[in-house]
Amino acid sequence: MGIQVFFFGGFLASHTDMKVWAGDAASQRSSVDFQAFAWPPGAKSDAHGAVAGAHNSGSFRKAVQAIEASSADTIYIVGHSSGCAIANAVDRALRDHERIALVALDGFAPNGTQRSRDSTQVWSAECGDAVARNHKALKELMGGRLNIFTATNCKTAWGLHFSLVNAKADSKTTISNGYKNCRANLCWL
């Protein structure tokens, strides 16, 4: 059936943000089925809070069931920022990882077992000497296995953090406008 993507937005990513991101992603890759999940209402940004919020909102169960029912040849489970905690937990809940590619975009890193799979990707961003919010910690953990997106016109940690989901992010980008004028960054696809 091709490719299916399950995308988990980071802290405070709204339903509107996810609609905009998924719509633009689909306009770029019409053969791919994109499903995007907003940040669970009331969830905290730490890993435990994110996963608990996804369970409480029902989005965790919905995602796991949809992935297990999928007939896609390749399934990407993608998290951005704190949404990586949810993506990682959804991946751990699956019994079969043969068709799964787990992707962490400048957020909580997958565990050692998840990182040991060739299909797992961990990304951060750079622009000259400026780096994304979680670049240092991910670089220390991943070393040469850390994938780097090279942004342009973006010299702030928040701008670079969002450049991994919005290729139009720039130095004015903050947590409150990360999806503004969104051009979905699909560097990992």
Query: For the chain, what are the domain ranges?
Result: 3-122
Residue 36: per-residue pLDDT = 98
Residues in the chain: 189
- Helices 83-93 & 47-57 angle (0-180, nearest 10): 70
Residue 186: per-residue pLDDT = 98
- In the block, tokens 């406008």 appear at 177
Residue 56: per-residue pLDDT = 97
- Helices 59-69 & 47-57 angle (0-180, nearest 10): 80
Give me the CATH topology for the region 3-122: Rossmann fold (3.40.50)
Give the residues across from 5 on adjacent strands.
34, 76
Region for 100 from its dihedrals, namely left if φ exceeds 0, alpha if ψ lies in -120 to 50, beta otherwise: beta
Residue 153: per-residue pLDDT = 85
DSSP at 39 = P
Question: Tens-of-pLDDT digits for all 189 residues of the chain?
Answer: 799 999 999 999 999 999 999 999 999 999 999 999 999 999 999 999 999 999 999 999 999 999 999 999 999 999 999 999 999 999 999 999 999 999 999 999 999 999 999 999 999 999 999 999 999 999 999 999 999 999 988 999 999 999 999 999 999 999 999 999 999 999 999
DSSP codes joined into one string, 113-157: HHHTSTT-EEEEEEETTEE-TTHHHHHHHHGGG-EEEE-SS--SH
Give the residues across from 102 on adjacent strands.
77
Residue 168: per-residue pLDDT = 96
In sequence order, the 6+-apart residues with CB closer than 8 A to the CB of 158 are 133, 173, 174, 175, 178
- Is the whole model's pTM more than 0.95, yes or no? yes
